[in-house]
Structure 1
Amino acid sequence: MKIELYYDKECPFCKYYANYIKLKQNHNLILINARDSKKTIDEFTKHGYDINDGFIIRVDGKKLYQGSDAIIYLNKISKKKIYFNNNKFFKNFIYPSAKLLRKTILTLIGKNSKI
C-alpha cells in the first residue's frame, strides 16, 4: 500500500505528527510538504479538498482522506496507535481545536497559516 501524506512542514504540530506516525515499517509512506506541491494541492482543491483544513492523504493513488478522517485512517493502520475514546468527539472537538491552535502558532512564529 502506497500512502502519500500531504502536510504543512512549517507547522510544528503537523511536522511532529508526520514524523511520529512511522508507518514506513509496513507501508510505503511518503511525506510531502504541501507548500512545495502546489500543482497537486490545486488538483485536490478541484475535488473539494482544502489543505488548509488539514492533512490530506492519498492511498494507492486513488482514495483521499482529509483532516480528522486522515488521522483516524492512519491511526487504524499504524503500529503506533493513538487511542481515541470516541472518534466523533475527536472529529468534532479535538481536531477543530488543533486546527485553531495550528493557525495561532504559525501566526506567532511569523508563518502564513494559508498554503
Structure 2
Amino acid sequence: MSSKEILLIYDRDCPACHYYCQIVRIRDSVGTLVLIDARENNAVMKEVTDLGLDIDQGMVLKMHDQFYYGADAIHALSLLSSRSGVFNRFNFWLFRSKKLASVLYPVLRSCRNLLLKILRKTKVNNLDLPNNDHF
C-alpha cells in the first residue's frame, strides 16, 4: 500500500454496499481509493479481524495506518469525497455530521442485513471463524 492509497474494506456480495463503493469518489489530492472485498483472503482483512472489527457490522476505511469503522468510516469518506456529481454531494451533505452518520449508519446496516437475507447470501462472519484460518 502506498501512502496515497486509502483502502475501503467492504462486503462485495452486498449489492447496496458494492454500489455505494463503486460510485463514491474521493478528491484526487487526498489519494487513491482502493476497494477491498472482505470475502477475499488478504493481509488487510487479517488486520481487520485481528483488530476485532466485525465486517458484518460495518465497513472499514484504512488511511495512513489509521482504521475507521462503521459510522466513522462513512463519515470520513464523506469528508474526503469529491463534490462532483449528485451522489457525492448528497453523500457529503448526509454524512459530514459525525452525529448524523452515527444515527443513520445502523439503519443502513439493518437494510444490508435484510437485503442479504432476501438474496440468501451469507454474512462474512470474519470474527466467527476458528482461529481466523480463512485469513
Q: TM-score, normalised by structure 1?
A: 0.85
| Cα displacement (A) at 1:12 | 1.2
Q: Paired residues, what number?
A: 113
Aligned-CA RMSD value:
1.9
Which structure has the bigger radius of gyration? 2
Matched residues in 2 for 1:24 and 1:111: separation?
33
| Cα displacement (A) at 1:24 | 7.0
2:115 is matched with which residue: 80, 100, 105?
A: 105
- Unpaired runs of at least 5, structure 2: 83-87, 126-135
| Cα displacement (A) at 1:39 | 4.7
Kept after mapping to 2: 8 A contact 1:55/1:70: yes
Determine if the alignment matches structure 1 residue 6 to structure 2 residue 17: no
Closer, same or farther: CA 57–37 of 1 in aligned 2, 3 Å:
farther
Alignment of 1:57-96 (within 5 A): 57-60=61-64, 62-79=65-82, 80-81=88-89, 82=91, 83-84=93-94, 86-92=97-103, 94-96=104-106
Q: TM-score, normalised by structure 2?
A: 0.74
Kept after mapping to 2: 8 A contact 1:7/1:14: yes
Q: Find the counterpart in structure 2 of residue 50 from structure 1.
A: 54
